[in-house]
């Protein structure tokens, strides 16, 4: 936290120094702008006052005074004029804040010295001219509006001289004239003081804006140089006004060759960009592909319309970025999310998407699609006997054989474990589907030679057609699973196609499974005992406990029906525990 506070203080201090530098530069520029006005005003009013005092004041005083005024104004003009052009450069030297005040006091004192001294000895008509000249010099303080304190010092010096001229020789001046001169002087002082304060405030605001603009400019330059992105601007006709030099290597043309040309055309004639610019609305993250010498590249553009003070559209400005690597990363992540790592085939989620797309196409074109579910027969002993590495090698080989047999007819995916699926987009030829299923069964059944070990497995297939057997992907998957279960029940190594009878069987099996789960707690199970008789002496040596299920509506359910079901659903352990407790 302390480090962050120090950084904030350093940042604020740097901004303050930069703002003060811009303020000083602005003051120097304004002073240079008014330098000629101040010099001409000073020399011109001095000549006017000298003309009025001529004949009433010694000539040598007037000549010496004019020479001093002319020299002082020339020196002040030269200094201000030389400081103005270099105000914004690094060679400009920082002037002390008190120096403009001293210069204003010195220059105004030189000018007002003789008029204040000789005012009382001149006749009233000459006093009017001299007083007017002194009032004009007070007004000329607007030339020092960039330095409010210097302007006030200028006004104060001339006002003091005017007061001395008016009141140190009271009997020789008309009171009405004195009141007029003082009144005009007061009004002038008030107006000029307000003007200087306003001018200084404007300079200070401009310095703040320049500081902010310079900060933004540095940030934008950093943004371009660090390769984060690039900047662009077009006029109302979508012609390039500015574009970062970093775009030159990407487009194969220099910046000068791009200026004045249509931005959409320069980016390959992208119609989406053209429509977006014509809409004259802000946009962001507009992605487009570029054909470059380095191959296809992807860029992203964002922009805002430029509206002038009159509300007229002037074009667009915005930022762009090369997002090729980002898109490649996204594509890799998408592939990983949709791919089975072991086999390289689409995974369960991707198979469902492919089936959904095929089903939508089937509903639109009346060309049926199909989903085949494959379950490997005899694969579990492979893992148990030879280990999972060889089992994984077998799964990879199975995936390769399936892809080879299916070819362009559909998409092969792995659902997980030893289950695979095939999505067929065009399944209107039932005979070709049956031939494909036969080829798949035959291909999978061929021996696998893994590390000099021969492994044999088989496969059973369940198939459902859409939208005949189901209107949704999940419905079709369920129907194909029912058909696969039927194929397993018929002896494996076969292919079964879904029909309504399988639905009834599946529903009965589901209800039987639910009833079996409640049979133990509801007391529906019974044990019957069959004696074991020794063949040698015909003696009973024990009893065999046989389980029977007395269903309330089905009657007695054969163990041939519910024992395999209990093994598949995991209820066999509960049955075993109940039999042991009951028998013992």
What pLDDT shows up at residue 444?
95
Instruction: Specify the pLDDT at position 8.
Output: 46
The percentage of residues in the chain with a pLDDT greater than 70, rounded to a whole number, is 85
Would you give the DSSP letter of residue 262? Answer: B
- Give the lowest-confidence range in 51-65, 68-82, 224-238, 544-558: 224-238
Q: With cut-offs at 50, 70 and 90, classify the pLDDT of residue 446.
A: very high
Length of the chain: 584
**If DSSP codes are grouped into helix, strand and coil, which group holds residue 445?**
helix
User: pLDDT class for 91, splitting at 50, 70, 90?
Assistant: very low
Q: Side by side, which strands form the sheet with 555-557?
A: 525-533, 540-551, 555-557
- Residue 7 burial by CB count (10 A; 0-12/13-18/19+): exposed, middle or buried? exposed
3-class DSSP state for residue 92? coil
Quote the crossing angle between the two packed helices 99-118 and 124-139, to the nearest 10°. Answer: 170
* DSSP H or E segment with residue 422: strand 419-424
- Beta carbons within 8 Å of 469's beta carbon, 6+ residues apart: 475, 476, 479, 498
Dihedral class, residue 527 (left if φ above 0, else alpha if ψ from -120 to 50, else beta): beta
Higher pLDDT: 89 or 351? It is: 351
CB 242 within 8 A of CB 236: no
Please report the pLDDT score of residue 21 as a whole number: 66
Higher-confidence residue of 294 and 407: namely: 407
Rounded Cα–Cα distance for residues 88 and 471 (Å) = 76
Q: Is residue 524 over pLDDT 50?
A: yes
- Let me know: does 292 contact 267? Beta carbons within 8 Å: no
Q: Which stretches of 264-387 are assigned E, i.e. beta strand?
A: 283-292, 295-307, 313-322, 369-377
What number of other Cβ atoms are within 10 A of residue 292's Cβ? 14
Return the top range by mean pLDDT from 88-97, 253-262, 266-275, 443-452: 443-452
Q: What is the pLDDT of residue 510?
A: 74
Summarised one tens digit per residue, pLDDT across range 58-75 is 888 888 888 988 888 888
Residue 375 phi/psi, 5-degree rounding, is -125, 130
Query: What Cα–Cα distance (Å) separates residue 44 from each residue in 81, 424, 471?
Result: 19, 101, 101
Pairing of strands 410-416, 419-424: antiparallel
How many whole angstroms separate alpha carbon 523 and alpha carbon 548? 11
CA 392 remoteness from chain centre:
43
Pick the range with the lowest mean pLDDT from 11-25, 292-306, 414-428.
Answer: 11-25
Distance from C-alpha of 526 to C-alpha of 519, rounded to nearest angstrom: 10
- Quick check: 99 pLDDT over 90? no
Residue 90 has a pLDDT of: 46
Reference 151, options 38, 40, 21, 49; nearest CA is: 38
pTM over 0.75: no
Residue in the structure block whose two tokens are 């200084």? 200
Neighbours of 133 (CB within 10 A): 23
Quick one: pLDDT at residue 10? Answer: 47
**Please, which residues bridge with residue 458 across strands?**
377
For residues 54 and 89, give the distance between their C-alpha atoms in angstroms, rounded to a whole number. Answer: 47
How far is CA 485 from each of CA 397, 433, 515, rounded to the nearest angstrom?
Answer: 24, 19, 20
pLDDT band at 173 (very low <50, low <70, confident <90, very high): low
Segment 364-420, tens digit of pLDDT: 999 999 999 999 998 988 888 888 889 999 999 999 999 999 999 999 999 988 999
């Amino acid at each position: 936290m302390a480090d962050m506070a120090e950084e904030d203080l350093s940042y604020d201090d740097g901004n303050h120094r930069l703002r003060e530098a811009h303020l000083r530069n602005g003051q120097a520029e304004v002073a240079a702008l008014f330098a000629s006005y101040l010099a001409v005003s000073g020399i011109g009013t001095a000549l006017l006052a000298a003309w009025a005092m001529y004949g009433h004041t010694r000539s040598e005083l007037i000549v010496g005074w004019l020479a001093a005024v002319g020299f002082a104004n020339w020196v002040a003009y030269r200094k201000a004029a030389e400081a103005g052009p270099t105000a914004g450069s690094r060679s400009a030297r920082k002037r002390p804040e008190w120096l403009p005040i001293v210069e204003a006091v010195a220059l105004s004192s030189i000018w007002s010295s003789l008029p204040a001294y000789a005012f009382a000895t001149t006749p009233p008509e000459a006093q009017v001219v001299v007083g007017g000249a002194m009032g004009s010099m007070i007004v000329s303080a607007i030339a020092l509006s960039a330095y409010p304190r210097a302007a006030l010092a200028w006004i104060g010096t001339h006002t003091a001289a005017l007061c001395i001229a008016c009141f140190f020789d009271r009997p020789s001046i008309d009171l009405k004239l004195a009141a007029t001169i003082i009144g005009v002087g007061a009004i002038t002082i008030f107006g000029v003081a307000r003007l200087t304060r306003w001018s200084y405030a404007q300079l200070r605001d401009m310095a703040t804006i320049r500081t902010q603009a310079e900060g933004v400019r540095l940030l934008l330059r950093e943004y371009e140089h660090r390769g984060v992105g690039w900047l662009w601007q077009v006029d109302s006709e979508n012609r390039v006004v500015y574009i970062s030099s970093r775009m030159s290597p990407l487009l194969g043309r220099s910046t000068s060759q791009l200026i004045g040309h249509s931005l959409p055309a320069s980016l390959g004639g992208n119609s989406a960009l053209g429509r977006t610019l014509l809409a004259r609305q802000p946009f962001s993250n507009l992605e487009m592909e570029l054909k470059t010498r380095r191959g296809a590249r992807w860029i992203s553009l964002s922009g805002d319309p430029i509206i002038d003070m009159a509300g007229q559209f002037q074009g667009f400005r915005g930022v762009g970025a090369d997002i090729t690597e980002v898109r490649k990363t996204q594509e890799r992540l998408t592939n990983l999310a949709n791919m089975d790592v072991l086999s390289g085939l689409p995974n369960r989620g991707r198979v469902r998407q492919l089936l959904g797309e095929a089903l939508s196409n089937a509903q639109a074109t009346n060309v049926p699609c199909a989903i085949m579910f494959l379950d490997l027969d005899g694969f579990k002993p492979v893992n148990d006997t030879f280990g999972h590495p060889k089992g994984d090698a077998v799964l990879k080989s199975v995936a390769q054989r399936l892809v080879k047999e299916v070819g362009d007819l559909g998409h092969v995916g792995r659902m997980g474990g030893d289950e695979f699926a095939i999505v067929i987009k065009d399944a209107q030829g039932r005979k070709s589907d049956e031939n494909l299923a036969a080829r798949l069964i035959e291909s999978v059944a061929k021996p696998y030679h893994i590390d000099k070990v021969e492994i044999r497995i088989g496969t059973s297939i369940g198939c459902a057609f859409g939208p005949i057997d189901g209107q949704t992907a999940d419905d079709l998957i369920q129907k194909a699973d029912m058909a696969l279960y039927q194929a397993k029940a018929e002896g494996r190594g076969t292919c079964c196609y879904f029909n309504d009878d399988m639905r009834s069987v599946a529903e009965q099996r589901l209800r039987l499974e639910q009833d079996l789960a409640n049979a133990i707690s509801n007391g529906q199970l019974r044990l019957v005992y069959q004696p074991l008789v020794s063949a040698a002496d015909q003696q009973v040596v024990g009893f065999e406990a046989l389980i029977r299920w007395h269903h309330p509506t089905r009657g007695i359910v054969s163990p041939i029906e519910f024992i395999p079901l209990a093994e598949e659903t995991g209820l066999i352990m509960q049955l075993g525990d109940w039999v042991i407790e009951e028998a013992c």
